[in-house]
Structure 1
Amino acid sequence: MALVLPVAAVGGEVLRVLTWPGYADPDLVKVFEQRTGAKVEVTFIDSDDTLWQRINGNQSQDFDVFAVNTAELQRYIANALVVPIDTAQVPNLAKQLPRFRNLNGIPGIVKDGKVYAVPYTFAEMGLIYDRQQIKEPPVSIQALWDPRYRGKVLLYNGASHNFTLAAQSLKDPNPFQLKESEWPTAVNRLIELRRNAMGFYSQPEESVDLFKRKQAALLFANYGSQQLQLLKAAGVDVGYAIPQEGALAWLDCWVITRGAKNKGLAAAWIDYFLEPEPSNALVKRQGLANTVAAAPNMRPQDRLKWLEPVESAPRRSLLWERILAGDRASKVLAP
């Protein structure tokens, strides 16, 4: 399929891309360069903090387009570091799955009627279980607290996500915004979860090693299908389940900076990465889901709960550190 660019996009231009490893592989970038005559300079980042520093450091003047999750996106919009996207310049939006075509239905993408981001890839935080120890797929996140799995649950070491998980297990309608009265209950819930834990991980590869070596029964998969793919490749007999409450999920989107030199060229980049070849590369190479084809490990009825900004990331981090240290609730909640 030919890539149609606006008149302003001519050969010899440079497109400056800031993104995550696996999102802009050299062979895919080369195709875009051949089609447009533009040169693409890709810079990779490895954390949300680094992404913020690179974009905010020079008021978004150093890059044209970057990838960011919907929760993080909000501070870029608030600080006028990104600009609305002309969706007419991204015709492949029409090829996305219904849940991604409905941009108004995804928190944080549309503001004041303007579209600030185009969904690209996502990972849901499902439950991975050892088929030899758990015969039936767990249907609820309550399984993480099941006393039958005491000392057999492998958890993600992430303050924000774990407080959201606890609030979700308590049926909080908005687990991203804890009210003052809800903190004690959430803390007690996480202390209960800590007692079920066999250990905590930060990176996908680390979780595979711990799962195999310590013979975990259940894993809260912060990296979702990516971890499932790694565990299966390691020869572990595992299953995967999306909890009935809905799986927490991060959604990475392409956005255009305020400092973009050629916004039409940036839009063309976004449109290209919604084509089948780049989209399928996410699945085959990274174990991630794309937005144009159904994820292989999800059923139509499975629900996702997109991450949103939380009420206080610093407070969640402080209390989580105390919970990990083994403190009682009264000490965890102390000023």
Structure 2
Amino acid sequence: MRRRFKTVVCGFIRGGANRRGVSRWATPAALAVLLLCFLWTHTLADSYTPRRSVLRVLAWPGYADDDWVRAFEKRFHAKVEVTFVDSDEALWARMHSAEPQPFDVLAANTAEIERYAHAGLLSALDLSRIPNRHWQQPYFQQVAKIRGLVDAGRTYAIPFTYSSMGLIYDRKQIAEPPRSMRALWDPRYRGKVLDFNSAQHNFSFAALALGYPDPFHLTPEQLRTVARELVRLRRNLLTYYTLPEEATEQFVQHHVALMFGNYGTQQVEQLRHAGVDVGYVIPDEGALAWLDCWAITHNASNPALAYDWINTMLEPEIGKQLTQREGLANTMTPVTGDASSDAAGAGPHLVWIQPVESIAEREALWRRIKAGDRLERFAP
């Protein structure tokens, strides 16, 4: 293109020369025309250079591995920018931060999806643009039966992976599997317990341990009772953790006996790879369970590419690798006795997490608990 332009310009100048070799076209106006033509041609030539679209992904560790990202970029001639988070609170903060460019697609649990949809942060999905849904188990295809995914007939997210949040214990220190979440408070394990750093999940699992029928909608009195129980739990705690890798390091280094497994089987897999002989149980009173889903943001700059991402994440090979690498269940492979086989939305002793009565109040109490407020400061 540029070579041809040079020939045309030279011919134009030569054709305009008089017998004395002086160009009849070398006037300011003619030169301006030539300059504009030159700039236009360079712009046209540059437009033939392919520019990759950018997809911005907000997700949890293990949901966007490097090889998956590279394969996606090559397949769709795109660039993928991944931002990882380590808690629901961090996810919410990221979605509300002053990012120069918005995120296009995110992964969140069903309770958060419901919250985000009600806040107008998500786009309703066109399910016909996600054909790989047909690989999923029937339960996960019936999105209307899963609380938080459908509102007013519109679907806002597609299931991706899930896990229970049970108890992980060191078999060498605890011979008999613990039967209840109350084992976390057992004085025999003082200084040997790990807990996940989350207001929502701590209040909910402690409510289950106390026998409350609805751990997600607590009365003010129940909130204060749970808060006192979480203060008492501090006596046994080594520390709080956020990421599963952090928990594994603490478990190994400090010979932890018992842990609230927020990441469930993913953490069991990591600990066993680290050489720890651990067991995993669902307590008799039940265990919280999360179902993480993919969704597209309401202000996505590249929704078409976001659909491609979600559809790719539902390929059977991705699901298989997710399970092999992270120890997480995928929505394509049936697992005996778990949530995928129960039409009511939860398998035996599993309770899907839901939006809670007051996020602000739980977080305010949690900050006081973590800061070391004394038990008597939490009035009955």
TM-score range, shorter chain: 0.7 to 0.9
Alignment of 1:148-187 (within 5 A): 148-187=188-227
**Percent identity (aligned):** 46
Contact 2:55-2:305 at 8 Å conserved across structures: no
Equivalent pairs, count: 323
Contact 2:130-2:311 at 8 Å conserved across structures: yes
**How far did 1:225 drift?**
1.8
Correspondent of 2:67 among 15, 24, 27: 27
1:269 paired with 2:315, answer: no
Runs of 4+ that moved beyond 6 A = 58-61, 296-300
When residues 15 and 109 of structure 1 are mapped into structure 2, their CA distance, relative to the original with a 3 A threshold, is: farther
Q: Mean alpha-carbon deviation: is it higher for 242-251 or for 163-172? A: 242-251
1:42 paired with 2:42, answer: no
Contact 2:110-2:293 at 8 Å conserved across structures: yes
**How far did 1:175 drift?**
1.1
The residue that corresponds to 2:11 in the other structure is: none
Structure 2, unpaired ranges of 5+: 1-49, 342-346
The residue that corresponds to 1:7 in the other structure is: none
Structure 1, unpaired ranges of 5+: 1-10
RMSD over aligned CA atoms reads 3.1
Task: Give TM-score, length-normalised by structure 2.
Answer: 0.73
**How far did 1:224 drift?**
1.6
Task: Give TM-score, length-normalised by structure 1.
Answer: 0.82
Contact 1:184-1:329 at 8 Å conserved across structures: no
1:222 paired with 2:262, answer: yes
1:96 paired with 2:136, answer: yes
1:316 paired with 2:362, answer: yes
Alignment of 1:1-335 (within 5 A): 14=53, 16-20=55-59, 21-35=61-75, 37-47=76-86, 48=88, 51-52=91-92, 55-56=95-96, 62-260=102-300, 263-294=303-334, 302-333=348-379
When residues 188 and 65 of structure 1 are mapped into structure 2, their CA distance, relative to the original with a 3 A threshold, is: closer
Whichever structure has more helix as a proportion of its residues is: 2
Corresponding letter in the other structure for 2:369: I
Contact 1:137-1:239 at 8 Å conserved across structures: yes
Residue aligned with 1:83, SS: coil
Deviations 1:249-281 (A, max 9, x none): 332211122234564543232122111121122
Residue aligned with 2:114, SS: helix
Q: Which has the larger radius of gyration?
A: 2
Corresponding letter in the other structure for 2:251: F
**How far did 1:295 drift?**
5.5
**How far did 1:58 drift?**
7.1
Deviations 1:154-203 (A, max 9, x none): 22233221111111112222212211121232123223323333443333
**How far did 1:142 drift?**
2.7
Contact 1:154-1:219 at 8 Å conserved across structures: yes
Q: Which one has more relative contact order, counting CA pairs under 8 Å at least 6 apart?
A: 1
